[in-house]
Amino acid sequence: MVNVSTAGILCETPARVEPMSRVGVTLLLPESEDFSGDRLEIECEGVVIRSEKKTTQTSAPLYHIAVYFTQIDDQDRDLIARHVERDLGGVNQVPET
């Protein structure tokens, strides 16, 4: 996983996935704040909105695919939001005035 948000995910794959392809996504997010121990499993569905070949140091191809979530439980979306907030440590929070 390269990047995750409540709207979707950017991930790496060894094969190109055509844009507009429907995909199933399983995310394993760390349950604890120090990212150790058990993992939370989130299953959802999405649509590939972008697929780009990346340059690598090896001969094996690598693609970044961007997936927009089309079906995800509200509870799972909330878990992702908490994970992102915890991972960022409030870096992107708007300061209170």
Q: Is residue 95 part of a domain?
A: no
pLDDT digits (tens, 9 = 90+) for 13-36: 999 999 999 999 999 988 756 556
93 within domain boundaries: no
Tell me the C-alpha distance between 40 and 95, whole Å: 30
pLDDT tens digit sequence for 35-80: 566 788 999 999 999 999 998 787 788 999 999 999 999 999 999 9
CATH number at residue 23: 2.40.10.220
Q: Which pLDDT score, from 0 to 100, does residue 12 have?
A: 93
pLDDT at 36: 60
Q: Is residue 96 part of a domain?
A: no
Residue 60, in any domain of the structure: yes
Q: How many domains does the chain have?
A: 1
Q: Does residue 53 belong to any structural domain of this protein?
A: yes
The span from the CA of 43 to the CA of 13, in Å, is 18
The C-alpha atoms of residue 1 and residue 62 are separated, in whole angstroms, by 13
Higher pLDDT, 91 or 9: 9
65 Cβ contact partners less than 8 Å away, ≥ 6 residues apart = 10, 11, 12, 13, 17, 48, 50, 51, 52
Which residue range is the domain that position 36 belongs to? 3-88
The percentage of residues in the chain with a pLDDT greater than 90, rounded to a whole number, is 59
Please report the pLDDT score of residue 38 as a whole number: 73
> How close are the terminal C-alpha atoms of the chain, in Å?
35
pLDDT of residue 31: 74
**Tell me, what's the pLDDT at 40?**
85
- Is residue 97 one of the residues assigned to a domain? no
